[in-house]
Amino acid sequence: RAEAVRAEAVRQVKEAWQANDITALVGLLDPAAVMTADGGGVAGAALHPIEGGARIAQYMIAIADRAPGLELLERSVNGTPGLVARRAGVVLTVAAFDVHDGHVTRIWAVRNPEKLRPWAEAG
Q: What angle do CA 71, 77, 79 make, to 5 degrees?
A: 150
Are 95 and 83 within 8 A, CB to CB? yes
Q: Which residues pair with 83 in a beta bridge?
A: 74, 95
The secondary structure of 101-116 as a DSSP string is TTEEEEEEEE--HHHH
Closest CA to 17 of 6, 29, 5: 29
| pLDDT tens digit at each of 123 positions of the chain | 788 889 999 999 999 999 999 999 999 999 999 999 876 555 555 667 899 999 999 999 988 888 888 899 999 998 999 999 998 888 888 999 999 999 999 999 988 778 888 887 655
pTM of the model: 0.88
Closest CA to 113 of 94, 95, 97, 96: 94
> Which domains occur in the chain, in start order?
2-122 (3.10.450.50)
